[in-house]
A and B are shown apart, each in its own frame.
Chain A
Amino acid sequence: MRMIKSNYIPHKIYITQESLRFPLTHKIISKLKQIPHEIINNHQSLIEDFKCSEDPVSQGKKFILLAQQKGEFVKPCPCTPYYLGCNYFIINLELNCPLDCSYCILQSYLSNPLITIHVNLEDLWRELDVFIAKRKGSYFRIGTGELGDSLALDNITELSQDLISYFRQKPHVWFELKTKTVNISHLRKLKPPENVVVSWSLNSSIMAQEQEKGAPSIAERILAAKDVSERGFWVGFHFDPLIHYQGWEKGYAEVVKMLFRQINPAKIAWISLGSLRFPPDLKAIITKRFPKAKIFFDEFIKGLDGKYRYLKSLRLKLYSHIVKSIVKHGGSKIPLYFCMESKDIWRSVLGWEPKGKKEIEQFLSCPLADKKLVK
């Protein structure tokens, strides 16, 4: 696997027989002419073979599987029980990601370790048409960055262009591309629609360096965000997962400072906050794959949803610190929200408590009509 800045190139492409009839398959093959490909009949058997390897997660990142999405492309974001969801919808177009973040939930969440691209885009557009038609008249947010990085494979797929062209015609939908990469070359060619947000996951520089293997530095991500925001795109930021480590206050304050030095707050659609959390079965995988990552041996408790998370008192400190920094640097008008947190946390840190996910949805997407870009 080679990852020079954001140009991921796989070792090999596996293509299911049935995927050969889709244009995206041929586009990817022609983009990766130099890479060997193999047509396979049974991708389940291939997946089982990968699971036999010493480190299926690392091994899977070296290969691309082109397959057909047989189930639904669009699903509600699963969030987590007992904590507040935000009514977000996800598009399962790509699974897995060439980046190798130590805390990534996909290491245990997905049973398929290969980087998988669902090539039956025609079915996606059809499904989206129906999905959006059903929600006509109400604003909502949808994105591709939950089970993969929205832009990490864009040099190969160019899907950002197709998706943006599609959502440009759907003005009551906020479409979000969520990434850690600086793979923005295709975005640069596009006229920015008013309902598209390109967002970056941020961490402190040291945590990004230590825990987000293969991802560009925080400074590079912020510069990429500056580039697209100056071209007229909305940008968003996700401080998630916030990690508790020696020197975290300074580390996160510096990132917030760096962010607001480069980005005009008026162009930021939203900022989300979440702290490090993981399901119990992920812990064994993490400690085996990242034995030096001591962050997973901090004081975690089992939250109401059964996932490990920091004690509430510590989460409050982490969030309050970031929010204060954001406000201090001119971000007081930016909508802030939490990912997988309780009403108590909202009330204590932001001073208000949403009644439920619908209210968070309204808070984040209703101003769409009012959020005219400051040019």
Chain B
Amino acid sequence: MKIKILPLKDINFQDERFRISYYFSLEKLSLSIKEIGLIQPPLVSVLDKQFVLVTGWKRVLACRQLGLSALPCWIVTGSNPLRLFLMAFYENLTTREFSLLEKAEIIKKLKGFGEEERKIIRFYLPLLGLPAANYYFKIYLKFSDFEPEFKVFIHEKNMSFHCLELSANFDSWERKLLIPWLRVVGHNKQKEILEYLHEISVRDGLTAKHLLNSKEIKEIANSKNLSPLQKANKLRLFLRKKRYPKLHSLQLAFNSWLKKISWPKQVEIDHTPYFESDELKVNFKFKNKQEFKNNLLKLQKVVNQEKFSEIFNLNLNEND
């Protein structure tokens, strides 16, 4: 390897075969180069009579952004593409954490450069912080095939692995339809929307596209009175109700019971999550003896009603 000052125009930027990162900000790096210059030269290889970047994409792009015409580069000899890619991989591995999309790109490129599948799973996946199992190899390959628009969205929203995993259940068109809904909510709500949508579509034998184009969802999307966040939340609740109809009807029955017996507003009442236990919990605040007494009296009034005991049969009365 030797160092050479290379004109930027001589580098073939179209050739991205060794590139790992696509979505990044050059702001800080440009500032650093501007202030103290390029400390570590990128690695370039001569392939098909052209200079191809092996490592240092960010550095070279920052130099280009700064208007530099040339920069020092390590020129690496040898043309084994897998070996060259591993140079890029190891240089990055030692200095930073890879994002989910970068891991996907690395796995795809290792496979593309002919690395044996078994070796990728057993050796490289643990290096990437992933379990050495075929499932992760396959799912990351799926992530690498996501369309660029969705990849940008993943990067911007810093989507979680689980959300990417769920997104892999949809086709590219469906993912595109989902972006506006997912853009305005956090990870947990993204997960809920993706999960409900997928599970309803499998259960009912419908495509997610069909569901997203349904009358109800279109109505939410076109509602002029709602903000994007309110729309996304409404969609989430609509899908939740559709996914869990029995749970929804139990909740309705519980609310209706509260109304029927005129449950006092000053006393909070909670059931266990999903009505899994028969237990109920009441909670109220008081500042003095009189307030305490008042709450007890209100509760006493409720208990004396005939309909009070209906709540203990909620699970038994739920229809199949």
Contact = CB atoms under 8 A, between A and B. Distances in A.
Interface of A: 48-49, 51-56, 284, 287-288, 294, 297-299, 301-304, 311-314, 316-317, 342, 344, 348
Which residue among B121, B272, B314 has the maximum number of chain A CB atoms within 10 Å of its CB?
A: B121
B316 A299 contact: no
Contacts of B274: 301-303, 311-312
A135 to B, nearest CB: 33
A311 B122 contact: no
Contact of B132 (A48, A301, A302): A48
A51 B244 CA distance: 35
Given A51-B133, A313-B246, A297 B277 contact: no
Contact of A52 (B121, B199, B272, B315): B121
A333 to B, nearest CB: 26
Contacts of A313: 246, 250, 275, 314-318
Contacts of B135: 284, 288
Given A51-B121, A287-B202, A342-B276, 18 more contacts: A49-B118, A52-B122, A54-B138, A56-B134, A288-B135, A303-B276, A311-B246, A311-B247, A311-B250, A311-B274, A311-B275, A311-B315, A312-B275, A312-B276, A313-B314, A316-B315, A342-B277, A348-B315
Contact of B134 (A54, A301, A342, A344): A54
B247 A299 contact: yes
Given A51-B132, A304-B276, A348-B316, A297 B246 contact: no
A284 B199 CA distance: 12
B252 to A, nearest CB: 13
B320 interface: yes
A315 B318 CA distance: 11
A62 to B, nearest CB: 16
Contacts of B317: 313
Contacts of B133: 51-52, 56
A49 to B, nearest CB: 7
B203 interface: yes
Interface string B111-145: 00000011001100000000011110010000000
Contacts of A55: 134
29 contacts: A48-B132, A49-B122, A51-B121, A52-B117, A52-B118, A52-B132, A52-B133, A52-B134, A53-B134, A284-B165, A297-B202, A299-B243, A299-B245, A302-B274, A304-B276, A311-B246, A311-B274, A311-B315, A311-B318, A312-B275, A312-B276, A312-B315, A313-B314, A313-B315, A313-B316, A314-B246, A317-B320, A342-B276, A348-B316
Shortest beta-carbon contacts, A-B, top 6: A313-B318, A301-B274, A297-B203, A313-B315, A52-B121, A344-B278
Contacts of A312: 274-276, 315
B121 to A, nearest CB: 4
Contacts of A56: 133-134
B126 to A, nearest CB: 10
A294 B246 contact: no
Interface in B197-240: 199, 202-203
Interface string B235-267: 000000001111100100000000000000000
Contacts of A53: 134
Contacts of B245: 299
Nearest to B244: A299
Nearest to B248: A299
A297 B134 CA distance: 24
Size category of the binding interface on chain B: 20 to 34
B122 to A, nearest CB: 6
A255 to B, nearest CB: 19
Contacts of B320: 314, 317
B206 to A, nearest CB: 12
Contacts of B134: 51-56
B132 A316 contact: no
Which residue among A294, A303, A311 has the maximum number of chain B CB atoms within 10 Å of its CB?
A: A311
A39 B314 CA distance: 60
A294 B203 contact: yes
A308 to B, nearest CB: 11
Contact of B276 (A297, A299, A301): A301
A286 to B, nearest CB: 12
Contacts of B247: 299, 301, 311
A299 B199 CA distance: 10
B1 to A, nearest CB: 35
A53 B137 CA distance: 10
Which residue among A297, A302, A313, A344 has the maximum number of chain B CB atoms within 10 Å of its CB?
A: A313
Contacts of B272: 304
A52 B138 CA distance: 11
A52 B316 CA distance: 47
Interface string B100-112: 0000000000000
A48 B123 CA distance: 11
Contacts of A52: 117-118, 121-122, 132-134
A295 B134 CA distance: 25
A297 to B, nearest CB: 4
Contacts of A303: 274, 276
A55 B118 CA distance: 13
Contacts of A294: 202-203
